[in-house]
Amino acid sequence: MERIRTTISGVIAFLVVLLLAGTVTQGQILSGKITGLVVDQSGAAIPGARAKAVDLATSHEYTAITEDNGEFVMDQLPFGFYHVTVQANGFSTAVVDRVQVNVSQVSHVNVKLTLATVGAEVVVTAEQSVVQTESAEIKNSIDRTQILDLPLPTRNPLDLINGMAGIVKPGNTSDSFVHGMRGNATNITQDGVNVADNTVKSSAFFAISAPTVDTVGEFNVSVAGQGTDAGFGAAQITIVTQRGQDALHGSVFWFQRTSFLNANTYFNNATGIPRPFQLQNRIGYNVGGPIYVPKIYNGKHKTWFFNAFEAFREPVSRARPRLVLSDAARLGNFTYKRADTGQLNTVNLLTLGTIGNQKNPDGTPVTPVINSAYMSYYNSLVKSPNGDAGCTGGDGNNLRCFTWNVPGFNYQNRYTVRLDHQLTIRTRSSSFTTRPTFARPMTS
């Protein structure tokens, strides 16, 4: 049994060591920081005070000692909430119950200690600073609570960015940009890896593998003043995958969108086209907690996992406009505008060349420009126009628009796995995350 325990521990350590080089270099991007100032009742700095932060999700402890100026720093902290205590000889214990740490941001606490009675402990409450003064970045963070509580019909957390200051969304499109800059000016990373589509940048927030509500633990958007740890780009989006905790949590979900409750578009109603069919299903699960093998290995406080799966299925139809010949043109009657007078004239091209005794230079009769047999074949294959909305290039006389609903199918499978292991008491957790996505776009 002891050999089995040793083998499992060795396998976990081996996986972490292989990935340690990649995760350590991403520390400032994937983690946050807690700083603080400890003073007494008169406002004088207290050096040598011991500050401790306990991760409420994993119970892992981080410690720091205040410097001569009374300040302390705890860096490389995973995102989440922390219980912070500050102790100094001869003073009461200060407690900050819930300090929120966001990705690549600094959380600052101001602590004032009071003199304590000998043999007694007095617990006071300090406050977390709300205003960020440690960086010149203009940054907004979206935490797990906001991702879960705010409405997201697309189930893509990045859609929450559209409500932030500086984000421009031109017209009724899915494209969004930062301060009107081009899409390639925005860098998107997930767990320190670039996931932006660097080929097709029609939107600043389009990722190769779109994140989902169930797999994103937190993300932030920096639109100006990026630091050296942010990577390239005038704007930066940093996404971190959800992590496991000491308590086992999980859920099973099924989200459905159907055209039964949708309204038809204005142009479809105007041209008599029925409401496009839609039946969208997102089915999956997510689970996270400590790795535990009965009588062999207990990973509580040491090793955590997170796993998620989502299957996306959508038989759908899309309205597609195409230019076709008008009913008059199908009979050969084409309308043109005279260059000299601007007057509209109509000529039948099926009979052009049969009037009078017109001859070609070689003496042969002039044949019709458009053959009637060809037009009959064209009319049997192509339907008559049903409006002019949605098409470009039509003239309203000879070329008009025909719009119809094209059936298609969207198919995607997303797998997400994250493993975190605490190597030692004083080092941060090193993690391995993989997010393979198998997708088949709409086919018609």
Among 365, 384, 403, the domain boundary falls at 384
DSSP string of 28-90?
HHH-EEEEEEEE-TTS-B-TT-EEEEEETTT--EEEEE--TTSEEEEEEEPSEEEEEEEE-TT
Q: 3-class SS at 370? A: coil
pLDDT tens-digit map of 174-212: 677 777 777 667 778 888 787 777 666 667 777 777 788
Counted domains in the chain: 2
pLDDT tens-digit map of 45-91: 999 999 999 999 888 889 999 999 999 999 888 888 999 999 998 88
Among 359, 384, 409, the domain boundary falls at 384
Question: For residue 105, is it within any domain?
Answer: yes
Among 11, 8, 30, 5, which Cα is nearest to 431's? Answer: 30
Kindly give, in sequence order, each residue whose CB lies less than 8 Å from that of residue 19, ignoring residues fewer than 6 positions away.
Answer: 430, 431, 432
Predicted confidence band of residue 28 (pLDDT cuts 50, 70, 90) = very low
Over pLDDT 70: what percentage of the chain? Answer: 74
pLDDT tens-digit map of 254-273: 998 888 888 888 878 887 87
Bigger pLDDT: 42 vs 5: 42
Question: For residue 223, is it within any domain?
Answer: no
pLDDT tens-digit map of 338-383: 888 888 888 887 776 554 556 666 766 666 656 667 777 788 888 8
Question: For residue 214, is it within any domain?
Answer: no
What is the extent of the structural domain holding 119? 31-128
CATH of the domain at 86: 2.60.40.1120
Among 99, 128, 157, the domain boundary falls at 128
Q: Is the confidence at residue 294, as pLDDT, over 50?
A: yes
Question: For residue 208, is it within any domain?
Answer: no
Q: Is the confidence at residue 19, as pLDDT, over 60?
A: no
Hey, which residues does 117 pair with through a beta bridge?
none
Question: For residue 162, is it within any domain?
Answer: no
pLDDT at 48: 93
Question: For residue 279, is it within any domain?
Answer: no
Bigger pLDDT: 241 vs 204: 241
Under 8 Å between Cβ of 42 and 70? no
Q: Is the confidence at residue 157, as pLDDT, over 50?
A: yes
pLDDT tens-digit map of 89-124: 888 888 888 898 888 788 889 888 888 765 555 565
d(CA 412, CA 154): 14
27, two tokens? 């520390």
pLDDT at 92: 85
Question: For residue 79, is it within any domain?
Answer: yes
Question: For residue 22, is it within any domain?
Answer: no
